[in-house]
């Protein structure tokens, strides 16, 4: 099982489309929203995709064909990790 974090950038034409819902539905992935910012002209969402590496790769390719700009991040979710701060 792999866990990868991505920043996804959308245009306003994509607003209202169930893009992330379809990724969770069409691929054997858990999609977790971490952060988001939307405006009238565009928006971005930081998501964590959890599943088999092949499923993640296919989902990313699918997002790309829909016009979503995808940037992998090096942030890992803190679920199940101890807090490094005392």
Distances (CA, A) of 24 to 20, 33, 83: 6, 12, 29
> What pLDDT shows up at residue 75?
54
84 part of a folded domain: no
**Do the domain assignments include residue 78?**
no
83 located within any domain: no
Q: Which range marks the domain in which residue 6 is found?
A: 2-72
**pLDDT tens for residues 15-68?**
788 999 999 999 999 999 999 998 888 899 999 999 999 999 999 999 999 999
How far is it, in rounded angstroms, from Cα 9 to Cα 36?
A: 10
CATH number at residue 19: 3.30.70.260
Q: How far is CA 70 from CA 9, 36, 80, 84, 85, in A?
A: 7, 14, 26, 29, 31
Structural domain count, the chain:
1
């Amino acid at each position: 099982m792999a866990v990868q974090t991505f920043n996804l950038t959308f245009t306003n034409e994509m607003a209202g489309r169930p893009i992330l819902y379809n990724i969770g539905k069409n691929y054997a992935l858990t999609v977790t929203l971490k952060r988001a910012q939307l405006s009238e002209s565009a928006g971005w969402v930081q998501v964590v995709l959890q599943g088999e590496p092949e499923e993640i790769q296919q989902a990313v390719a699918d997002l790309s064909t829909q016009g979503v700009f995808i940037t992998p991040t090096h942030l890992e979710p803190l679920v199940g990790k101890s807090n490094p701060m005392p």
